[in-house]
Amino acid sequence: MKKLIFVLTAFALANMACNNKCCFLPKVPAYIRAQKDSVQWEANPSTSTIRNDTITIIGKTENPGALQETLEIKIKNKGSGVYNLLSNETSYYTTAGLSTPVFRRRLDSLFANSVNVFFYDAASGTISGSFNLKFMYPAMPSGTTKDIAFLNGSFNLVLRK
């Protein structure tokens, strides 16, 4: 019982200490990350936007001298919840610098591709959530493909208007 009272008191004090100009709670940095084919992958989410009712989450890697990767997820904003994605709502491609895409992959329609939005605040544009995506490389002449999976993905970012 004492622990519960202590936790509730601490929570109340934390809420009273916050105002529009100051809060002692640290600001969480923006990120988009996942396990890409079992390797930790992280990208810059700075170009993510909201336009009308569409949220676009974009992660771009910045590896000088290497192929640049872009992961793009578009969802119709319905607030928090699970969004099952279709192929026209996601894209993953690599470019050599800022040129046209070198490799473009399509979403695997047999995989349960989804985004789960945990938190969305329209006033500040802050959005947090998770995702699981699987992309297929177009078939080679040999008929083989190279799938790329972004599993256990997470994001926290501020959308630009």
* In a domain? residue 115: yes
Total tally of structural domains belonging to the chain: 1
* In a domain? residue 38: yes
* In a domain? residue 85: yes
* In a domain? residue 3: no
Instruction: Report pLDDT digits (tens) over 15-43.
Output: 555 544 455 555 668 999 999 988 999 99
Q: What is the pTM of this model?
A: 0.76
* In a domain? residue 9: no
CA-to-CA distance for 110 and 147, rounded, in angstroms? 12
Query: What amino acid occupies position 72?
Result: E
* In a domain? residue 112: yes
Q: Tell me the residue range of the domain where 90 lies.
A: 30-158
* In a domain? residue 150: yes
Instruction: Report pLDDT digits (tens) over 77-134.
Output: 988 999 999 888 998 888 876 666 677 788 998 999 999 999 999 888 899 999 999 9
